[in-house]
Amino acid sequence: MKVAPYPVGGLERDYLRTVYELAGGRAKSAVSFTEVRAESGQSENEAEIACDYWADRGILEWTALGHIALTHVGLRRAKRLERRGWSSTPF
């Protein structure tokens, strides 16, 4: 498992927020990687970096080709960030 050596930043938070919102605030609810990228306004490279960041930490998982979902741990992290206004580091 490769983990990015930098702390969570705005790019990663925005990506997680978009996944959380598109999944309706539910774990294991698959959303399209392409749709997340489009909704977050990130480039393909930025979206891949953010997705890998969360997947490497067990927050997101690939559920099918081109689809990702929050894990149960990821849902707890996203809810904590939501309560904090999406402005603080979850770890």
Tens digit of each residue's pLDDT (9 = 90 or more) over 9-21: 788 999 999 999 9
What type of residue sits at position 51? C
Question: How many structural domains compose the chain?
Answer: 1
Question: CA nearest 48: which of 72, 68, 22, 25?
Answer: 68
Question: CA nearest 80: which of 63, 51, 59?
Answer: 59
| Residue 90 domain-assigned (yes or no) | no
Number of H helices, E strands in the chain: 4, 3
Structural domain range at position 27:
10-83
pLDDT of the residue at 2? 47
Distances 45 to 5, 11, 17 between C-alpha atoms, Å: 17, 11, 18
Q: Give the Cα separation of 26 and 53 in Å (integer).
A: 20
Per-residue model confidence as pLDDT tens for the chain (91 residues): 444 444 567 889 999 999 999 999 999 999 999 999 999 999 999 999 999 999 999 999 999 899 999 999 999 999 999 999 987 654 5
pLDDT of the residue at 10? 87
What CATH number does the domain containing 68 carry?
1.10.10.10
| Residue 55 domain-assigned (yes or no) | yes
pLDDT of the residue at 55? 96
